[in-house]
Structure 1
Amino acid sequence: MEGESTAVNITETPKERKGKAPLLAPPSSSTIKPIVQKAPKGGYKRGLAVFDVVLRLAGIGAALGAAIAMGSTDQTLPFFTQFFQFKAQFDDLPAFTFFVIANAITAAYLALSIPISIVCIIRPQLVAPRVLLIFLDIVMVALTTSAAGGAASIVYLAHNGNSDANWPAICQQFNDFCQEVSGAVVASFLAVVVLMCLIVLSAFSL
């Protein structure tokens, strides 16, 4: 009859279905590569460099405090005669004078080395600045340790004396003087510890 449409259903046979490949083949497992985000290089080195700057600031405070404390130490006893005045100053002893100079040099070096340490923060992969800091830190450790050790021996004699050499203890009379120089020596040894920590940090960074 007119007006009626006939629909023809065409079904594919299994054989025809086998021969056709899919338009989009699924990706094989061998072509799928996991995305691994790499950690930024030098991350821990940058953290060590930041800690290096903090330690250098602490070392400046310790060394400069030791130099100022020793350099401003003096005491005059209240009793004196017309010809004699009992007074103790740091420059009366060469070991204390060397102590002041050495700690001032150490404080100045630590201040001047901060820009190099900042370079290590910006460019943590650089090796030359870190090697330079290790070398100079070792030199400063030797200088500061010798100064602190020499001053400590004098402070020990001032507190205890030496009966074999017939050297009396003077801290019973110059009590304030001995307390100030003892505090300066302790601060200097703190600077030595800071310098040793800086060497260890630089070694880890390398």
Structure 2
Amino acid sequence: MKAGALELGEASKDSTLKSTVNRGVSVLDFILRLIAIIGTLGSAIAMGTTDQTLPFFTQFTQFRAKYDDLPMFTFFVVANSIVCSYLVLSLALSIFHIARSNANGSRIILIFFDTAMLALLTAGASAAASIVYLAHKGNAKANWFAICQQFNSFCERISGSLIGSFAGVLVLMLLILLSAVALSRR
């Protein structure tokens, strides 16, 4: 009789420990989603408000660099905005996982959508990174000149916006791994 009660007590301790660990994983998931929201929102705002005008010989002739002059930067802003919106909406499921740490179906849904958002954010950030590289270095073979010597402020902002976006990519990777670990522990 005592052996059966002892085994039951150990099973109860294991169940409590698993529940505590799963709740901790869910809280970490929530915090990482908040960090990703900040990164993607900051990137979209920084890129979307980038604009610099250089005066030429006269006041009537000016050179202007704006983010929407290049479709890759527009795609970058749209991709970051979509991912940020998704992350805000996914906070509800993250809170649900804190309350009910044994939910499996919703974790699978989050892994699926997190992966899709990771692909979208990576595509947007990579497209913008290629243009930022050309803006800084140029390409002599293609006759593309580096514009960052003239448009310093523009180049600083577009380069800075990439940091938040690639941080969002990293956080989404961590979220996918975290959800996979949470599912494997069940």
- TM-score, shorter chain, exceeding 0.5: yes
Give the residue type in structure 2 aligned to 1:175: N
Which 5+ residue runs of structure 2 have no aligned equivalent? none
- Aligned partner of 1:163 among 121, 140, 144: 140
Provide the rounded CA distance (Å) in 2 between the counterparts of 1:80 and 1:135. 55
Shift of 1:204: 0.4
Shift of 1:83: 5.3
Shift of 1:42: 2.2
Larger Rg: 1
Give the residue type in structure 1 aligned to 2:54: L
The aligned counterpart of 1:105 is 82
Shift of 1:54: 0.2
Percent sequence identity is 55
The count of corresponding residues between Structure 1 and Structure 2 is 176
Whether contact under 8 Å (1:74, 1:88) holds in the other structure is: yes
- Aligned partner of 2:171 among 194, 197, 200: 194
- Taking only aligned residues, the RMSD between alpha carbons, in angstroms, comes to 1.4
Whether contact under 8 Å (2:55, 2:61) holds in the other structure is: no
Give the residue type in structure 2 aligned to 1:58: I
Give the residue type in structure 2 aligned to 1:44: V
- Higher mean C-alpha displacement, 93-102 vs 121-130: 121-130
Give the residue type in structure 2 aligned to 1:66: S
Which 5+ residue runs of structure 1 have no aligned equivalent? 1-30
Whether contact under 8 Å (2:46, 2:161) holds in the other structure is: yes
Shift of 1:84: 2.9
Whether contact under 8 Å (2:72, 2:124) holds in the other structure is: yes
- Write out the 4+ residue segments of structure 1 that deviate beyond 4 Å after TM superposition: none
Provide the rounded CA distance (Å) in 1 between the counterparts of 2:59 and 2:160. 33
| Larger RCO (alpha carbons 8 Å, 6+ apart) | 2
> TM-score, structure 2 length as denominator?
0.90
- Aligned partner of 2:160 among 166, 170, 183: 183
The aligned counterpart of 1:126 is 103
Quick check: which one's helix share is greater? 2
